[in-house]
Structures are given as structure tokens and as C-alpha cells.
Amino acid sequence: MKDIAVIGVGYVGLVTATCFADLGNHVIAMDVAEDKIDKLLQGIMPIYEPGLAEVVKRNVDAGRLHFTTSYTDTIKNARFVFICVGTPSGVDGEADLQYVRQAAETIARIMDHPLIIINKSTVPVGTGDWVADIIRKHQPRPIDFSVVSCPEFLREGSALQDFMNPDRTVLGSLDHEAADEVAQLHLPLRAPIVVTDLRTAEMIKYASNAFLATKISFINEIANICEALGADVKEVAAGMGLDKRIGKMFLDSGIGYGGSCFPKDVLALHHMAIEQEQQPQLLEAVMSINLSRRHQVIAKLRDLLGDDLRGKTIGLLGLAFKPNTDDMRDAPAITIAGLLVEAGATVKGYDPVAMDVARQVMPPATLCTLCKTPYEVCEGCDAVVIVTEWNEFKQLDMLRIKASMRQPIIVDGRNIYDPVMMREMGFVYRGFGRGYSGDIHLDGV
């Protein structure tokens, strides 16, 4: 059993603390936000993640997992300190490191024994060296410490599975002995461990997320071409994905990516490149294509309902940026609802788990009504947009929905329905890249 401290009980911190406790370690997790800690002490999760509440309770009851607002209590007996605080986007797209700085300064001032300090937050390349400098500067007296980068690769909605069954663990440090100690923590996960220097480990995280975002934007560009030529992008993606060099993951076309990772990390990598006088043309294209997907929803609605959307009622099914989470950060639904309201439309919305969060970030209730069921959303609508691919929406009584709508128009932003079946039921159906183009003109044919 190792003594582990986790600073920050947001998404990454809470999952990291809980899973290390479940592996048999003694873990204390802290946060300066008293409301978060109060909720956790009452057994209330500050985030939605399938299965997390049960695992937290199991480890709290076993005495392996504790929560506090005290830095001193957190690191008093710790050998390993994981920094898992937020790194939101700054004004110019750079990662805002104020919370990392606060954590590093506080750790430096109160540490009284050697520590291995592990950056788990997604941080710009060079942050490990910067954290080490901060700690040396703010120590009242010199105490040995090491800094290790251990970037997270957790997907919201499957974070427990991702932590316990990782594809790899990436570690970066200038101290090989410290890196080896952190590697020992991860050995029970039985996954490949990549050990490198600090900056390379930090870059692996950004490069990985940027590549996955690129796959999404690539297939969305292919979807545009499929739509123009009458091909079906889902079949194209399936055929591509069978090639082991390509793989099937992240080849689902639709509205595009959102959330707390891809948008922020691609933008931050772009910012780092610009600062080094590089020309990140591919990253710029990835971001541009992704943003355009949200506007294409409005274009499809105008094509079906007419250019003037004033007085039209549009339903949004799904508000979180992806299924199995209540995360609304950079969710496409926010942009789409805003564009609809700006165009004079009335908006209705529903999400299985994100309603409380949505009320804080969606347009005001006078402009956007949040409903209790998907059927309530669809009632009286001129069109319904599938924004998030919740399994619940795949099992809806579509004939009941059709009967309740003013006009039976579905814009399927996640391509979850079969176009032929939808049209046979009497819907006017539009997916993304599903091969329903009109006249096709090929030069030379």
C-alpha cells in the first residue's frame, strides 16, 4: 500500500484518486472548493460518470479513500502527489496554468519530506520544468523532490474502464528513479509503460488528442464530399476502418467534437506552435472543419424549413457533448441553440443526465425550454435535431414522435437512424453524408 495525495477532485482527480484507492493504496484527495468536498463527504458525486459513485463508496467504506480541503493533511504522509487541477483555455487559446501554479506553490511551502510530484493535468510542453522551478523557489528550506509527467487518457463516460485498462502509461521525468517509482504504482494495470523525458511526455498527450480530433474532422470532410456525390459515409468509414493502419475508432461523422479535451488541447497546441513561429496548418483546418459542423445543422434546417426560421420550433435531443456524461463544456448544443435563437426560432431541449448543467449554459428559459422527456421535446416541433447519440434515443417510438410533430423533419446530427427506415415511416430525414444528394454532375461522364 502506497500513500498517495491527489490535488483537485474534478473529473481527472476524482477518477485518479478513486482508482488508485481501488488498487489497494491509501489515497487522500483534496480540493479548495469546499462545496465539492462537502458533497463527496455526503456521498454525492460532483460529476456524472457511470459506476463512479459505487467505486467511491466502496473505497471510502474500506478506509482507503479520504476527502479534505486541507493541503497539510493531504500531503502529510504522502510519497506521491498528483496535481490534477483544471487548465482551462486562456484568452489566446493558451492553457491557463494559474491553478497548477497555486498547487505547486502551496506544496512547496508546506512539504516537510521528499516527494514525487506528478503532473496529471494536461499542461503545455515545458510545464514540468516550470513546476520544478516554482517549488524550488517557494520552499522555505531545500527538500528533495522530483517532478514526473503522467498525462491522463481518460474518456468521459468510460473513465473507470480507461484507467483500469489503459492502452499505455506515459511517464516523463529527468529523474529515472522517480519515474521508476511511479511506474511501480501502475504495474497492477498490466499495460505498456513508456518512459521518456518531461517535455516528450507532455507532447505525447497533445499529439494524441490532436490526432484523434483530426480523424473526426477528416471523416466529417469526407462526409461533405459523400453528401455531394451520393455516397454513404457510414459505409465509407466502415470500409476504411477495416484497414489496420487506419482503424475504426473516431470515424463517426456528424456534428463534430466538443467537451473539455479536444477543443482545448488542439487550440493549446496551435498556440504553442504559433509561439515557436511554426505554421500549424493542419490544426487550423481541424478546428475550422469542426466549428463548421454546428453551422451546417442550421444550413440543413434552412434548406428544409426555408431561410427564415422565425416562428419555427426546433427540438434538440441531447445536450451534453457526448453520451454518458453531464459535461456541457463546448457542447455543440450550446452553439446550435444560440444560432437558432439568433435566427428567431423557439428551442426545446432534453438530455438524460445533463439537464441541471444545461440550465446554467443554454439560452434563458424564455428562449429555450428544457423538457422532461424526449417526447415532450418533439411535441409541436417543426424539426428535431439529434445532437447527442444517447442510446435512449435509438429506442424511441418514432411513430409517436412523428404524430406529435408539426412537421416530421429529423436532422440526425449523429447518424444514429437508418435513412431508409426513417423515410418509410414518413419522416423527412437528413443525416450527415448519408448519400441523399440530388443531381450529381461529374465532368467527363
Task: Give the active site residues.
Answer: 261
Of 44, 25, 27, give the one whose Cα is nearest residue 35.
Answer: 44
Q: Determine contact, residues 314/340, Cβ cutoff 8 Å.
A: yes
Residue keyed to cell 523525458: 197
Cell numbers that stand for 176 in this block = 529515472
Q: Determine contact, residues 63/48, Cβ cutoff 8 Å.
A: no
Q: Determine contact, residues 56/40, Cβ cutoff 8 Å.
A: yes
Of 193, 200, 208, give the one whose Cα is nearest residue 174.
Answer: 200
Strand ranges, E, within 368-413: 368-370, 383-386, 409-412
Q: How far apart are CA 248 and CA 306, in angstroms?
A: 36
In eight-state DSSP terms, residue 79 is: S
Q: State the amino acid at position 283 in one-letter form.
A: L
Strand partners, 235: none
Q: What is the dihedral of CA 265, 267, 269, 270, to 10 degrees?
A: 170
Q: How far apart are CA 89 and CA 190, in angstroms?
A: 34
Which helix (H) or strand (E) covers residue 327, if one does? Answer: none
Nearest-Å Rg of the Cα atoms of the chain is 24
In eight-state DSSP terms, residue 218 is: H
